[in-house]
Amino acid sequence: MRFGSVAFFKVLIKTVLCIAFFVPLILCVIFAVVLWNKGAELEETKFENEKLSYQVQVLGGEKKPTVEGFYKIYSDSGLSDEDLIAYINGIDIQSTEETDADTTDAESSAAPAVPETSESSETQQQTEETASADDTAETAETQDIPAIQPDSSYASLYEDMAVRVPASYVREEGVVYLTFDDGPSDNTYSVLHYLDKYDIKATFFVVPRRTEECYDIMRQIVNKGHSIGVHSTTHEYKEIYASVEAFLDDFHEAWTMIYEATGVKTEIFRFPGGSLNDYNGATRDAIIEEMTRRGFRYYDWNVDSNDAGGATWTEMYNGIRKTVDNNYRSVILMHDSAPRKNTVLVLEDIIKALINKGYKFDKINNNTQPVQFIGPFA
């Protein structure tokens, strides 16, 4: 075959066409394999987070363990029936050990206490809590701010940002805590309207801005008797969780704005994304330690309305009611940011449905025992 001949160009054209066809095909196969592996890793991570959250809620007494609940977690895990039975038995053993530990030394345990059932136990618990409260009150009278350990490397940052720790915590069965993140927004007015209509108090974890409208809404929240807490200033996960200092910077800015608008030095907050998320793994423990040292309490949730995930009215209405029925008490995550229109639409119907089932509503008070994914009360 001579260079430049017809035969040569035929072979050349066939070669070019083959390369043009097979190279993209091979690249597509390679990318498909890579994406499949990444998807599998994400699914595994999602499963592990879901499993951990369920374990925390069951062991902490915030969620009633059910066959359906365990099956939902493990149906796609690949565990054999024997492995699943062994795991459930392990949970029972651990729960029993924790209950015994709480009975013998309730005040030294960070886990939520199992509710007492006898009158003598309740009387004893009330006596202990009263004594503890009296001791703490005597100590508090001699202090302007709560004691802060000076050995923290962050003690010099925002020294004014510290609050008192309650003498004891309240954990009531059958109570529903409605909580709203990411506001204030125009939707907050509608949320406040429905809460007023049914004389319900709720909790707002805000992302404040230095505008008169934002300050006015925060004042309305407090003046109407609701609780207000810090969510963040920027809601930028990568920035907030970059370091302990970064978290304190963001928190102090929001905390200060709430105080300027309402006169409240709030003691409660909610981590953006919750205390266990994909962005705070490297700094989570240090942030929790520092915020706990300053007296602040953070609150996660055990009922997710999934409004941030785009849940429909029907999905929220059915999902919230079903999950509340499985809990000892319920902290419901909702949002009053501008895009969450379905939250406003479903709120009144959720309130009426839960009232009809006999549930009580309350705001998160300074002594409400936290629900946490990870931390002192997990």
Per-residue confidence (pLDDT) for residue 105, from 0 to 100: 46
Q: Tokens at residue 190, please?
A: 């509608």
pLDDT tens per residue across span 145-167: 454 555 799 999 999 999 999 99
pLDDT of residue 23: 76
pLDDT tens across 221-258, in order? 999 999 999 999 999 999 999 999 999 999 999 999 99
C-beta neighbour count of 19 within 10 angstroms: 10
pLDDT in tens, 297-341: 999 999 999 999 999 999 999 999 999 999 999 999 999 999 999
How far from each other are the two terminal CA atoms of the chain, in whole angstroms? 79
Q: Closest Cα to residue 144, out of 265, 256, 245, 250?
A: 265
Which amino acid would we find at residue 208? P
pLDDT top residue among 240 and 133: 240
Average pLDDT over residues 282-308: 97
Range with the poorest average pLDDT among 6-20, 173-187, 260-274, 333-347: 6-20
For the chain, what are the domain ranges? 6-104, 173-378
Question: Of the given ranges (63-67, 290-294, 348-352), which has the lowest mean pLDDT?
Answer: 63-67
Q: Write the DSSP assignment of 258-308 as a string of letters.
A: HHHHHS----EE--TT-SS-SS-TTTHHHHHHHHHHTT-EE---SEE--TT
Residue 138: pLDDT band (50, 70, 90) is: very low
What is the pLDDT, as a whole number, of residue 93? 42
Residue 76 has pLDDT above 70, yes or no: no
Burial class (CB within 10 angstroms; exposed 0-12, middle 13-18, buried 19+) of 86: exposed
Q: What whole-number distance in Å separates Cα of residue 378 and Cα of residue 375? A: 5
Indicate the burial class of 37 (C-beta count within 10 angstroms; 0-12, 13-18, 19 or more).
exposed
Q: Which two tokens stand for residue 156?
A: 């010099």
Residue 284: the pLDDT is: 97
CATH entry 3.20.20.370 includes domain 173-378: yes
Calpha distance 123→113 (Å, rounded): 15
Closest CA to 51 of 14, 78, 27, 29: 78
CA distance 73 to 362: 30
pLDDT exceeds 80 at position 53: no
